Amino acid sequence: MLKFAIIGAGAGGQTMAAILSSKGYSVRLYDIDSAKVQRLKELKTIKVTGLIECEGTPELITDKLPQILEDADVVMIVSTTDAHRGIAMECLPYIRDGQIIVLNPGHCGGALEVANIIRGENGCGKDVIIAEAGDLMYACRSYEIGTAFQSGIKATVPIATLPGRDIGRLMEVLGPIFPNLTPVSSVLETSFQGGGAMLHPIPSLMNINKMDLGESYDYYMEGITPHVADIISACDEERVAVCRAMGVNALPLGESLTKVYRLEPRDNLYDMIQHIEPYKGLKNPTTVKHRFIVEDTMSGLVPLTSVGAMLRIPTPMMDAFVNIAGAVCGRDFRTEGRTAEKLGLAGRTLEEIREMVR
């Protein structure tokens, strides 16, 4: 039986740990938050409610990363994507040959950044499979430590390896366990096709007044009004243009959501979102430190605009939201975020980039 190391005990990590351990897999769970780890240790069992009902007990829950990496066959990184760089560097001394490392999700450039660390000049020199999912496979939230609400499993979740030729080896191991994982040709598809950068920071920032007033609302159903959906669509046109300049045949957000959630086509993005059942009932961020703003700006909007600038694709709408997020949070996201340089793409031709991921 495979041994899983899960890095990150947020909603996604807790859900994954509970489901896998309930099926008999060996699961070790890590989180940097010592208080959360202590509470999970006290509870021992993690409960998943909603469309999936299960309980699972990881064999180890810890805030010490080396403890979960020992003898792990599969390392599932389910942290916020802005933490990938630090996690990869901390894992370096403990990575061993033959391990599978999967970013859940990689967001925009995750596998590129992590591979640059693991296989770069100061890397570990180990033979590992590095992969990233285009999205977290569970639509879930955790409002209480030890309990995750699971509102749906996405019908298809794209996954790719770096390099792409490793995908067969990956799917041989993980395909039977996660049947909704759908292989795609390269990490350029998983990295640049995701809609998180469109659906998270933009509505959150457009509703910043509600956050300031402490108002609670249904994030997707109330927070994305027709005009907010129009703004998302304008940003999405820029995202698609950047993708296609890289040779990635990215779907517009509405078409992508139709495919992922197996929906009937709708006339506009607003109407589409209103018919996504797993989106209903999910509450809004309550702080500007929330991952919808910080993570999705650093690891979504910044790399899209940085690569766009490298390819001379104008991205004024997305640039505006990077600037707004920086002003709201008091941070320089263009410096902190994933730039083309950090992804190892700067100075490369399109052909060189395609060869690198093939």
Which has the closest alpha carbon to 257: 228, 237, 239, 277?
277
Give me the DSSP letters along 82-102. Answer: GGHHHHHHHHGGG--TT-EEE
Distances (CA, A) of 85 to 25, 45, 147, 304: 27, 30, 28, 18
What is the C-alpha separation between 191 and 93, in angstroms, rounded? Answer: 26
Return the DSSP state at 218. Answer: B
Angular region, 214: left φ>0, alpha ψ -120 to 50, beta rest: left
Enter the tokens of residue 30. 């890590």
Catalytic-labelled residue, pool 200, 230, 271, 332: 200
Catalytic-labelled residue, pool 135, 236, 296, 319: 296
- 8 Å CB contact between 156 and 259: yes
Catalytic-residue membership of 227: no
Enter the tokens of residue 42. 């006290």
Return the DSSP state at 297. Answer: I
| ω into 285 cis (within 30 of 0) | no
Angle, CA of 117, 28 and 41, to the nearest 5°: 125
Beta strands in the chain (DSSP E): 3-7, 26-30, 46-50, 54-56, 60-62, 74-77, 100-103, 129-133, 138-144, 147-153, 157-161, 181-183
Catalytic-residue membership of 107: no
- CA–chain centroid gap for 109, Å, is 10
Helix (H, G, I), strand (E, B) or coil at 288: coil
Which has the closest alpha carbon to 106: 67, 125, 80, 87?
80
Which H or E run includes 318? Answer: helix 316-329
What is the C-alpha separation between 259 and 256, in angstroms, rounded? Answer: 5
Which residues are designated catalytic? 200, 296
